[in-house]
């Protein structure tokens, strides 16, 4: 395994991180434990979860993923081997079952942290992230920003002050963003600096060969401000594995099960995937591993958050850490990107 430091922290995370959002829905507790066991054996030391997981978010399963991780910690007695990240939900119509509609204010963040600590069976969280902003922004496939007609977001200073108090109490160690914009990232950094509050050290956004919008603004923020990214959906809900090619609908796969997950569908993404498949095939590479290896080589990435529903997928995804893409492959990938720029925001 390879490891990367997150600047201004003591965190040295595995380049491959373990995403967990299928545990409790597509994966059982036993399967989740098996995945964690194998990942640790392979040197993976960074796990990412959220109070909202598993997906799709539902009242019946909310918090189940954290509970599964907690029972694994309790049984294995190995909390010190894992750098653990989780997230507090922001506001939105799809999560009204969480505290009646979560907000990033003192009351809700405090309740969220206490709930996560209990379920995870731990005394501290290494990286605590805001799952998405409290203000209206383009999210989960929405491409463009539109000024809201009505908006009453929780002030960023309030959010940072409660996080500062939780750090002082030893309940969380570092903080990060998720699904954030360049303006939002810079605003959090600005308020933290001007008010002497904790600094965001990571940002977790969708990032893959089908969605490189991160590179148009947030990549520069990471480079100039010393933040690091934690890409999620690096295989675009599995579309970059090739398993959905030619209209295939594999049994038990996420896009097969839930039509709502259409974020990475469309004719432009289909065309781009075929081009990427051709590049991988000509280079003697597996499409999924090529897609992951491309992310692994990006300058702003600290840990590439893979997810898997089978052990076969997990093993192959972790193996991508040992693949170095030749220059001609990276150049061919960029050529396709310029032909089909960000077909899936």
Cα dihedral sign for 232, 230, 343, 288?
negative
Cα dihedral sign for 107, 108, 113, 116?
positive
Task: List Cβ<8 Å contacts ≥24 apart for 185-193.
Answer: 185/218, 185/221, 185/225, 185/227, 186/221, 186/225, 187/156, 188/156, 188/160, 189/225, 191/156, 191/157, 191/160, 192/160
Active-site residue, 3 included: no
Tokens of 200: 């965001």
Residue 240 exposed, middle or buried by CB count within 10 Å (0-12, 13-18, 19+): buried
User: What residues pair up with 177 in beta bridges, in sequence order?
Assistant: 130, 203
Tokens of 209: 């060969």
Cα–Cα distance measured from residue 209 to residue 344, given in angstroms and rounded to the nearest whole number: 9
Please pick, among 53, 128, 207, 340, the residue that the annotation labels catalytic.
53
| DSSP state for residue 306 in the 8-state scheme | E
User: What residues pair up with 129 in beta bridges, in sequence order?
Assistant: 87, 176
The residues assigned a catalytic role are 53
């Amino acid at each position: 395994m390879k490891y990367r430091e997150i600047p201004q922290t003591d965190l040295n995370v595995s380049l491959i991180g373990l995403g967990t959002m299928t545990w409790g829905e597509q994966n059982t507790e036993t399967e989740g434990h098996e995945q964690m066991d194998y990942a640790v054996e392979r040197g993976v030391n960074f796990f990412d979860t959220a109070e909202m997981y598993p997906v799709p978010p539902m009242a019946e399963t909310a918090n189940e993923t954290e509970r599964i991780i907690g029972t694994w910690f309790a049984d294995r007695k190995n909390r010190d081997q894992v750098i653990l990240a989780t997230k507090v939900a922001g506001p939105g119509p799809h999560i009204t079952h969480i505290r009646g509609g979560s907000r990033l204010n003192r009351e809700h963040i405090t309740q969220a942290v206490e709930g996560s600590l209990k379920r995870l069976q731990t005394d501290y969280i290494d990286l605590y992230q805001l799952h998405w902003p409290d203000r209206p922004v383009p999210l989960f496939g929405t491409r463009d920003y539109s000024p809201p007609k009505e908006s009453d977001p929780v002030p960023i200073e309030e959010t940072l002050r409660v996080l500062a108090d939780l750090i002082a109490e030893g309940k969380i160690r570092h903080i990060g963003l998720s699904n954030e914009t360049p303006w939002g990232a810079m605003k959090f950094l600005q308020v933290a600096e001007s008010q002497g509050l904790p600094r965001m050290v990571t940002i977790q956004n969708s990032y893959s060969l089908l969605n490189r919008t991160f590179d148009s603004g947030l990549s520069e923020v990471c480079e100039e401000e010393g933040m690091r990214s934690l890409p999620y959906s690096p295989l675009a809900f599995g579309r970059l594995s090739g398993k959905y090619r030619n209209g295939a609908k594999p049994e038990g796969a996420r896009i097969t099960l839930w039509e709502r997950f259409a974020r990475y569908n469309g004719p432009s993404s289909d065309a781009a995937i075929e081009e990427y498949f051709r590049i991988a095939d000509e280079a003697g590479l597996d499409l999924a591993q090529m897609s992951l290896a491309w992310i692994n080589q990006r300058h702003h990435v600290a840990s590439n958050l893979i997810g898997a529903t089978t052990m076969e997928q997990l093993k192959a995804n972790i193996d991508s850490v040992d693949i170095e893409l030749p220059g001609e492959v990276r150049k061919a990938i960029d050529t396709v990107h310029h032909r089909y720029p960000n077909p899936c925001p």
